[in-house]
Structure 1
Amino acid sequence: MKFINNKIKILALTILHTGIMAVSAQSSIHKAETSTSQSGKIVPDNLNWSERMLLSEMYRFPESWMLDFSKSPKWTYPSAIVLDGAEQLYTKTGKKEYYDYISGFGEKLIKEDGTILTYELEKYNIDLLNSGNVLLYLYEKEKKEKYLKALQTLRLQIAGQPRTQEGSFWHKKIYPYQVWLDGLYMGMPFYAHYTKDFSKGNDAAKAYDEIVFQFDSVQKNLLDKKTGLLYHGWDESRQQAWADKQTGLSPNFWGRAMGWYGMAMVDVLDYLPQNHPGRARLISYIKSFADAIVKVQDKENGLWYQVLDKAGEKRNYTEASASAMFVYMMIKSVNKGYLPQSYKVYAKKGYNGIIKNLITVDENGVVNLNKCCAVAGLGGKPYRDGSYEYYVNEKIRSNDAKGTGPFILASIEFEK
């Protein structure tokens, strides 16, 4: 009899537990549903494109170090571009989840003693300065000592970065004597922002002069005077197989390399003093740059090609990251007065082209940016020769942060 009573008790407890679990599950489902928009979508479609894309990135990559498909926390540059947009959207909307997303990057990547996870100063890789922009923002907001120490480490890298004979920064220590357009975006906005926040007097003046010189040097060594476009890379030593033996230039105009350079110019001007004599030169470079890219903009869809001057050639395609970067660079330049209002037409055509041809929206409202070149470079192992075939055969993927970040930034400029 006692055994039967125990069995009944166990059965009753099991039924009770199952009931509680069912209620709990229903409650969780209800919470999940109410956390999405009233229409049942994860990303509401009544928001601006900037927020829709940021929320989509946050959904795809719940922690900001995951951006651009990182498998483990790693100090790398793509996250910083999306987080630049998140900073601006937090300022605009006050939505705490945007700030938490930015803050999470610093918390995860910077140890309490100021050590930067996975970062090695002695590699002198200019790509690794870009995420310093996130730390500059977080230090301004939170004044944590660990961020200051990490920032000082990154500034030490600039001091020791190897240079060409005339003073242009090498892209990386493992790429001796090489200047890539990418490096201007990776290093110069950070250098200018750091200088504005922390340097005074002669130190600041020297830093600003050096920053402007980096652009002067690129205009001198990487510009194609016939088209106004800029080559991806330049090898001062002429030793690389990709480098022309006379000029040292790589053989093609890669869309995203020029995109990086355009973004670098407009972002550096945010920090360069108004009375600096280099401002006028940078603005003249922006005008020359805009004129060159307008000439290679697709007349039908408003987009730009992976290899800029070879539209219609086999396997070439309209590429998302370069298109978003050019749109951002132009619309921000119009908004800031660096370019006349007439350039807004080209920026708008490019922006509409991205939305019409490269954006897809899932049923749950999540926004995707398609046809992003995953990666491209010069040299290395396996060797990247900078040929047309090389660029058009690199992997293409959706939702690469090097495209979604500039799209968010461009959207913010259009929404102003």
Structure 2
Amino acid sequence: MTERMKRLQAEAIYVMLHYHEKTGKQKVKDLLKKAAGRYVSPKDYISWPTGLIANALMENYERWENKDEVLSALEAYFDFWIKNAEPIYCIDDALCGTALLALYKLTGAEKYRAGADKIAAYLYKIADEDADEKGSLPYRPSQKNNHIYVDGIGMMCPFLCEYGVTFGDDKAILLCIKQIKNMLEYGMDEDSFLPYHGYMYESKVKYGIIGWGRAVGWLLMGIAGSLHFLPKEHLDYISLKEVFQRIADSAYYYQKANGAFAWQLEAQEGPQDSSATAMITSAILKGIQTGIINGSENAYGKKVRASAEFLAGCEKDGKIFACSGECKGFSEYPQIYGAYPWSLGPGLDVLLQKE
């Protein structure tokens, strides 16, 4: 394991285990919000930023030289959540479900199976009570706006597909496929074949910008992660495989010469975004590994290596910089760049495979 990978792994494990902890400044802000009667977000032990890291660590388990250390960290991450009997707060929490299922398969510990059941039950509840007319799950059911975010495809679909295949639950597989197909039907730009950030079926309005970098990453990761588990004989396998390659080709049309993707793919003179680059590249690597992409290494090898080199250049002290800040909602993309977990998780995955 190279020195860079040691730094990245150490940082990833630390962030995964401590990201939920609030600083003194954040605690003061929360107290002021509570005093003013405003909503204060809870500590979420399995949030999407740490889920990206948990998945990267678990999916590459066999590649690590220090497997025992990685396994202990993953067990500590999920055991802390289980011990505290925390609820599933939102769709975001389903992202780490693939790592949780892999941990269950590796250890055979029933507590991890129970955790996966808990995530599935939460998604089923939303499907039964809050889905739109086409069966898509709103990103924030409590807001009662029926906004469907492309983020949700990457966060919940791979888990749903793996859960369904692992436990013979057709409901989970059908729910997964429905989310992807609805996004492809109602959330895409027909000319570029890149996604909007989301849509609302009832109004037929598409929201956000076309080709937001992480939106493309979420969509590709969601499809690749689902097809990784979906049986090849499934009715929708071939069509989803073809659409994955089409989206990938659309994305790579906008790849920069240095391997990076811009924060918004078509904004060629805009800031480069390590999170968009890492997420898209991680999804493409999964497509290559599982045979989703035709031509694989011949067609995408140089492009993937270029992205890996760009990400390596963004690394310092185990962090991956040049990452755009957290999105606040449709068309709310702060032009703030630094080092965040959403570049670290998928970036770790890419660099481990391409170093």
Same structural fold, with TM-score higher than 0.5 when normalized by the shorter chain? yes
How big is each residue's C-alpha offset from its partner over 1:302-343, in whole Å with a ceiling of 9 and x where there is no partner?
21111221222xxx3101110011111223322332222212
> Would the aligned equivalents of 1:320 and 1:371 in 2 still touch at CA under 8 Å?
yes
The one of 345, 366, 369 equivalent to 2:302 is 345
Counterpart residue number, 1:66: 18
Q: C-alpha distance in 1, partners of 2:120/2:248?
A: 31
> Would the aligned equivalents of 1:254 and 1:308 in 2 still touch at CA under 8 Å?
yes
Residues 310-329 of structure 1: matches in 2 within 5 Å? 310-312=267-269, 316-329=270-283
Residues 4-403 of structure 1: matches in 2 within 5 Å? 47=2, 50-58=5-13, 60-61=14-15, 64-67=16-19, 74-92=45-63, 93=65, 95-111=67-83, 116-117=85-86, 119-120=87-88, 125-161=90-126, 162-175=130-143, 176-199=145-168, 203-204=169-170, 206-238=171-203, 247-299=205-257, 301-312=258-269, 316-339=270-293, 340=295, 341-356=298-313, 358-360=314-316, 366-378=317-329, 386=331, 390-391=332-333, 393-398=334-339, 400-403=340-343
Deviation, structure 1 residue 50: 4.6
* Greater gyration radius: 1
Q: C-alpha distance in 1, partners of 2:94/2:344?
A: 20
Greater displacement, 329-338 / 253-262: 329-338
Q: C-alpha distance in 1, partners of 2:259/2:326?
A: 23
Deviation, structure 1 residue 49: 5.1
How big is each residue's C-alpha offset from its partner over 1:170-204, in whole Å with a ceiling of 9 and x where there is no partner?
112034311111001111111111112222xxx42
TM-score (norm 1): 0.72
Q: C-alpha distance in 2, partners of 1:259/1:317?
A: 17
> Would the aligned equivalents of 2:196 and 2:211 in 1 still touch at CA under 8 Å?
yes
Question: Which amino acid is 1:104 matched to?
Answer: A
Q: C-alpha distance in 1, partners of 2:93/2:161?
A: 15
> Would the aligned equivalents of 1:83 and 1:134 in 2 still touch at CA under 8 Å?
yes
Q: C-alpha distance in 1, partners of 2:2/2:350?
A: 15
Counterpart residue number, 1:3: none
How big is each residue's C-alpha offset from its partner over 1:335-379, in whole Å with a ceiling of 9 and x where there is no partner?
3322222122222222222223x223xxxxx3221021231042x
TM-score (norm 2): 0.84
Gaps of 5+ in 1: 1-45, 239-245, 361-365, 379-384
How big is each residue's C-alpha offset from its partner over 1:127-169, in whole Å with a ceiling of 9 and x where there is no partner?
1211223322332233334333332221111212121211112
How big is each residue's C-alpha offset from its partner over 1:261-282, in whole Å with a ceiling of 9 and x where there is no partner?
1111111112111211211111
Q: Secondary structure at the match of 1:110?
A: helix
Q: C-alpha distance in 2, partners of 1:266/1:151?
A: 20
Counterpart residue number, 1:414: 354
Question: Which amino acid is 1:256 matched to?
Answer: R
Q: What number of residue pairs does the alignment pair up?
A: 328
> Would the aligned equivalents of 2:220 and 2:244 in 1 still touch at CA under 8 Å?
yes
> Would the aligned equivalents of 2:186 and 2:201 in 1 still touch at CA under 8 Å?
no
Q: C-alpha distance in 2, partners of 1:247/1:73?
A: 31
Q: C-alpha distance in 1, partners of 2:45/2:118?
A: 16
> Would the aligned equivalents of 1:327 and 1:410 in 2 still touch at CA under 8 Å?
yes
The two structures, once aligned, show a CA RMSD in angstroms of 2.4
Q: C-alpha distance in 2, partners of 1:73/1:154?
A: 14
Deviation, structure 1 residue 94: 5.2
Q: C-alpha distance in 1, partners of 2:272/2:206?
A: 28
> Would the aligned equivalents of 2:91 and 2:139 in 1 still touch at CA under 8 Å?
yes
Counterpart residue number, 2:40: none
Identity over the aligned pairs, expressed in percent?
Answer: 20
> Would the aligned equivalents of 1:50 and 1:409 in 2 still touch at CA under 8 Å?
no
Alignment CA distance shift 1:338-1:69 (3 Å): farther
> Would the aligned equivalents of 2:261 and 2:277 in 1 still touch at CA under 8 Å?
yes
